[in-house]
Structure formats: structure tokens, C-alpha cells
Chains A and B, each alone.
Chain A
Amino acid sequence: MHPLNCACPDCDLLLSLPAGSSRRQRYCPRCNASLGSGRGSFPALASTALAGLILFFPAVTLPLMRFTLAGQSDNNSVWEGIADLWQQGFPLLAVTVMVCSLLAPLVQLLVCFSIACCVQLSRFPAYYPSLLKIANTAKHWSMLEVYAIGILVAYVKMMGDGDVTILSGCYCLAAVMVCAILSEQLFDNDHAWAAWQQGKAP
């Protein structure tokens, strides 16, 4: 019998999990809550996060689509959408959109990449615990998948009024979205904390 070493986050049931085993893919027997997050290796996390970071800058600055009506056309990017809202006098709205579609995904990718590198190299800086806490907050507010559906709705809405062309920024943004979702799935919180604790001990 193992000691009771884990509490369910949703119903507070005390559980015993074999020492050393990861909590991923384990569920609470009473309320079926997931007891751990993420599955996967840190090299995989590092490469996905890095791929997302490389594509991040083009994704937010390249134009997403072009709207043409009566011979005139205009295009947009994620960043311009935020800047235009600010200029029209909606700073709160601009900040909200910026945090959810730009800042949180960027921070999430940066932090995931740093954590994966730290674990892989077994070198833990003093701010490593803060990185892990930031990762958990950033993933909560990163909403690129919602933004992608927003692009779809905007596209369909404009189709009736003029010509709409999808541009390169859209493909970059889709790739960043996939990278952000994958890094969330690959990020094993328990393993990242355990590695730090082991690295500190000797």
C-alpha cells in the first residue's frame, strides 16, 4: 500500500499514486477529474514551442486577408486589428483582444520553450518556479483557437459584400495555433516540478 500522496483537485479525495509515476492519464475514481496535465517529452515540447515562436512574428504582422470592393482594397493583420480598436477609442477592448490573441500565446510559447530547455539541460535558474506558474496562467488566457473561428466568421460575413482573399498571415497563424495547442498538451506540469526538485537536491 502506497501512502496517500495525492488529492483530487475537484473533490478533495485522498488518493495514493505509485511514487515516481507520472499523474498523466490518471483520473479521480470518485469524480473523474484529471489528476495531471500533459503527456509527452520535453524535447518534443521544446521543438513545438520553438516552431511556434519562429512563426509568431509573421503570424501577427503579415496580413490575414484582403477585402476588395469597387476596385479598392484593404488588408489586416492581428496587430493592426488591435491598433485600429485602440485608435477608434476602445482601449479596454484593444487590451483584452491583445492579451488573449497575442500576449498570452507568446508568453505561453516562450515559457514552455524555456522550461523544456531547463529540464533537458538540468540547469534550473532561480526564476524557474515563476516560469511554471506563468505557464499555467498564460495557457488559461491563450485563445488562438477562438481567434481562428473568429477569422472564419469574419470571412463568411464579408463574402456577401465584396471579394475576400486569404493571405499568408492566416496560414502562419493557423500553424502558431497548432503549436500553442500542442505545447499545452505536451506540457507535463508534475514532471517539470519533479525534475526541478531532483535538480535542486544534490
Chain B
Amino acid sequence: MNTPRAIDANLARCESCAQLCKLTDGDRGQCPRCGSAVSLRYRHSLQRTLALCLASIFLLIPANTLPIMTVNNLGNGQPDTIMSGVIRLWQADLAAIAAIVFIASILVPILKLLALILLMCVVKMRLRLSSDQCTRLYRFVHLIGRWSMLDLFMISILVSVVGLGNIASVDAGPGATAFAAVVILTMLAANCFDPRLIWDLEEND
């Protein structure tokens, strides 16, 4: 043992008040300060993360193939998927906005899922990657997750601001609900992953 870990002293950090709690009975207990349930590591961290990731991967298919919104202009409706919306922005010479939407709606969810799968592989298969860099990757996944909501907020704004009857209107599409589910499930998956599992590998070598 080269570094002092809380788990070796049977100490757990409380998730809500950051108090160190001495656990006397097994790996679970109650924080003496705030009364929250504490445990040495998140309960079933890998199983929960994997389940939420799998659900997100399946939902990515309807999210990307079904239309997320339909723009009606003088009676002509054009259903748009996420990708066709990006292409339309690009063709309208709005390259910067197209890039923002592409990064937020397509790159971020896929990169998040790949990163979480990589982190789970590192823990489960004991891959020899730098713990420091894996932790940075985990923090990055946490940080970027919320930005995928961008497209959904934009739809909510467009749906209500463009309502001119037959002249122009915007309707949401079923793909948007699937995409919302992907964003929420990946955020929950990132919450369920315990980064301390990465550092535990160094101790057990």
C-alpha cells in the first residue's frame, strides 16, 4: 500500500456533506452529521452505468432516424432529423451554428457513451491506462453532458415562437422525445459511475 485510502481505514466520504464517516458494520452506514446513507463505493456502480448506457445506445437509433421537428412553410412541411437539420444550417451558410448543433447533438452523446464504455472496460478488464487521464475523461463527460439539451431547448423555443397558422409553423417530432431520453439517461449513467474504482486498480496490482 503506497497511498492512504479512506476505504482501507473503513472510512467513507458522505455524498451530501463531505464528512468522513467511520463504518463499523459492513460497507454501508449512515452519516453522523447529516443522516444520509453512506457507502465505501457507489452501490452497483458498473451494473447501473452499463444498464443506462445500453438503454441510451438503443434510444440513439430512434433519436437519430425519426424527425425531431417539422417546419411548415406555406403548407409545405419538411420533417428534419438531427443530421438533416445540421446539413440545412450548413447549406444556409450558418457554419458556426451548424457546428454548435453538430457537436452538442451528435458528437457529445456518442463521445459520452464511448468514454463511459472505455472507463467501464478500464475498471472491469484492468486495462493499464493512466488513472489520472481516466479521471480527467470522467470529469469531462460530466461537464459536457448538459450541453446536449441545446437542441431540445431550441425546439421548445421554435415551436412556440413560429406559430403563424398556415403561413409558417413548427411542430416537434417523436425523435425529440427519444433524444431527450438519451440525454437524461447518459447524464444518469455518468452520475452512477464511481471514479474511485479507477484508482482502486493501482492498489490491487
A positions within 8 Å CB-CB of B: 4-7, 9-14, 23, 30-33, 36, 64-67, 69-70, 72-77, 80-85, 88, 90, 92-94, 96-97, 100-101, 129, 132-133, 136, 140, 143, 146-147, 149-151, 153-154, 156-158, 160-162, 189-190, 193, 197
B positions within 8 Å CB-CB of A: 3-7, 9, 11-13, 16-20, 33-36, 73, 89, 92, 94, 97, 100-101, 131-132, 135, 138-139, 146-147, 149-165, 167-168, 171-172, 176-177, 180-181, 184, 191, 195-196, 198-200
Contact of B177 with A13 in the complex, beta carbons under 8 Å = no
From known contacts A7-B11, A74-B163, A80-B160, infer whether A153 and B150 are also in contact, taking CB-CB under 8 Å.
yes
Contact of B3 with A189 in the complex, beta carbons under 8 Å = no
Partner of B153, one of A10, A67, A150, A160: A150
Contact of A4 with B4 in the complex, beta carbons under 8 Å = yes
A171 to chain B, nearest CB (A): 16
24 CB contacts below 8 A, A to B, read A4-B4, A6-B13, A7-B6, A11-B131, A11-B199, A12-B5, A12-B13, A12-B200, A14-B4, A30-B199, A67-B161, A67-B162, A97-B152, A100-B146, A100-B153, A133-B34, A143-B146, A143-B153, A150-B149, A150-B152, A153-B154, A154-B157, A154-B161, A190-B18
B127 to chain A, nearest CB (A): 17
Contact of A100 with B131 in the complex, beta carbons under 8 Å = no
Q: What are the 7 closest A-B residue pairs judged by CB atoms, nearest first?
A: A150-B153, A76-B160, A7-B6, A81-B156, A76-B161, A11-B199, A14-B4
Partner of B160, one of A7, A81, A156: A81
From known contacts A7-B11, A11-B131, infer whether A76 and B19 are also in contact, taking CB-CB under 8 Å.
no
Chain A residues positioned under 8 Å from B36 (CB to CB): 133
Chain A residues positioned under 8 Å from B167 (CB to CB): 69-70, 72
B113 to chain A, nearest CB (A): 19
Contact of B11 with A14 in the complex, beta carbons under 8 Å = yes
Partner of A162, one of B5, B94, B157, B168: B168
Partner of B34, one of A69, A88, A94, A132: A132
A140 to chain B, nearest CB (A): 8
From known contacts A14-B6, A74-B163, A90-B177, infer whether A69 and B168 are also in contact, taking CB-CB under 8 Å.
yes
Chain B residues positioned under 8 Å from A74 (CB to CB): 161-164
Q: How far is the CA of A30 from the CA of B198 in the complex (A)?
A: 13
Chain B residues positioned under 8 Å from A5 (CB to CB): 20
Contact of B176 with A158 in the complex, beta carbons under 8 Å = no
Contact of B147 with A146 in the complex, beta carbons under 8 Å = yes
Contact of B19 with A146 in the complex, beta carbons under 8 Å = no
Nearest residue (CB) in B for A6 is B20
Q: How far is the CA of A190 from the CA of B172 in the complex (A)?
A: 43
Partner of B13, one of A7, A94, A140: A7
Most buried by B among A14, A23, A88: A14
Nearest residue (CB) in A for B148 is A146
A12 to chain B, nearest CB (A): 4
Contact of A157 with B154 in the complex, beta carbons under 8 Å = yes
